[in-house]
Structure 1
Amino acid sequence: MHLIPASFVPPRTVSLANLDLVVLSPEWAQQDFAALERCADTIRHVFGPDNHWPDADISYEENLADLLRHEREFNEGEAFAYAMLQGERYLGCLHIKPIKSRIDNDARRRLFQAQAFFWLANDEAQPDPGSVLATLRDWLNAEWPFEAVAWPGRVQGWDEWQAMAHAPCMNDGA
């Protein structure tokens, strides 16, 4: 299942204000794993209140397998993960994903074409998450072929995000 139209070529590297993005791949395994080890408790639940990634005892090999999967998904147009950098410093990751749900007729799929998540390692000199969010939102809105991207846990609070799944369908005059 492709998240984007075949005519859109997602950038593999991007330079934004004080933030560089590169495809998340095994090339970043050392930096990514080090950030996960330092910040697992801080970034746990970024993908949802019931999501427990990363496990407290995630191994380097498990993380490497995740990075291989992210790179494959990127290359196949299924989802897009980027390492976020500031110069040589590894800041964290951005994930642009389809909205997956076990709910039949999940209204969030009508409202949004994708969902995005990011996490930052909690280093001392990290950028402000609000400014990172603003930069990433502006970039996705300007450069990607989505009408609307959800930011669960950031723009939409988790309770609001869950409630949106059951929003009534709006009929045009019917």
Structure 2
Amino acid sequence: MTWLPVDFVHPVHVPVPGTGLHLRPIREADTPLDFPAVMGAQARLWEIFGPAWDWPKPTMTYEEDRVDLLRHEREIAAHQSFNYALLDELETGIFGCVYIDPPERVGSDGEVSWWVVDKLVGSEAEQALDALVPQWIAADWPFQRPRYLGRGISWQDWLALPRV
């Protein structure tokens, strides 16, 4: 048995209302857009994700990012986990990501987290994404008990939970 129903079809394009941005599954080919987005926000992202995921290291290279995105692309294809890039309409820039993963800790059936690039922190676009993600998960994903890491539970409290 997998963590998702066998017949589940993941969304491939999710508009973020009122922003001109959308979410779509990330691909290895997105490395030229992803690397500057991640490294431009590296210090803040490390504060958020570093203790849990050991990511993104300040020394991360373009090639390491490419390999990581290839892994994400393969995981998406296999329905093992999902990484959605936040892109502008013409897909000329990545402005954040949304992660949807099987539970690592007890008490949920899916774990969701997200971030935006530094220039969007506190913006209407970030607020729109913050509002969209829980609604999207409730509407389009088969979870009964999703957990919103860093939102509904702090990363520190999540790390203290027993592993699945």
User: What runs of 5+ residues in structure 2 fail to find an aligned partner?
Assistant: none
Over 3 Å counting, the alpha-carbon distance change for 1:48 and 1:141 in structure 2 is: farther
SS in 2 for 1:93: strand
Q: How many residues align?
A: 158
Which structure has the larger Rg over C-alpha atoms? 1
Match of 1:100 in 2: 104
SS in 1 for 2:51: coil
Match of 2:3 in 1: 3
Answer yes or no: is the 8 Å Cα contact 1:82–1:93 preserved in 2. Answer: yes
TM-score (norm 2): 0.84
SS in 2 for 1:145: coil
SS in 2 for 1:123: helix
Match of 2:119 in 1: 123
Q: Within the alignment, does 1:147 sit opposite 2:144 as a pair?
A: yes
Over 3 Å counting, the alpha-carbon distance change for 1:2 and 1:45 in structure 2 is: farther
Match of 1:30 in 2: 32
Over 3 Å counting, the alpha-carbon distance change for 1:50 and 1:4 in structure 2 is: closer
Query: 1:130 Cα deviation (Å)?
Result: 4.2
Runs of 4+ in 1 over 4 A off after TM superposition: 124-128
Over 3 Å counting, the alpha-carbon distance change for 1:124 and 1:13 in structure 2 is: closer
Query: 1:129 Cα deviation (Å)?
Result: 3.7
Query: Quick check: 157-166 or 129-138, which moved more?
Result: 157-166
Q: What is the aligned-residue identity percentage? A: 30
TM-score (norm 1): 0.80
Structure 1 Cα separation of the partners of residues 44 and 151 of structure 2: 14
Structure 2 Cα separation of the partners of residues 12 and 124 of structure 1: 23
Structure 1 Cα separation of the partners of residues 75 and 13 of structure 2: 16
Structure 2 Cα separation of the partners of residues 73 and 121 of structure 1: 23
Query: 1:122 Cα deviation (Å)?
Result: 0.5
User: What runs of 5+ residues in structure 1 fail to find an aligned partner?
Assistant: 102-107, 167-174
Per-residue CA deviation, residues 76-130 of structure 1 (Å, 9 max, x unaligned), is 01001111123244211111001225xxxxxx2xx31110111211025854544
Match of 1:84 in 2: 86
Structure 1 Cα separation of the partners of residues 99 and 63 of structure 2: 20
Over 3 Å counting, the alpha-carbon distance change for 1:11 and 1:129 in structure 2 is: same
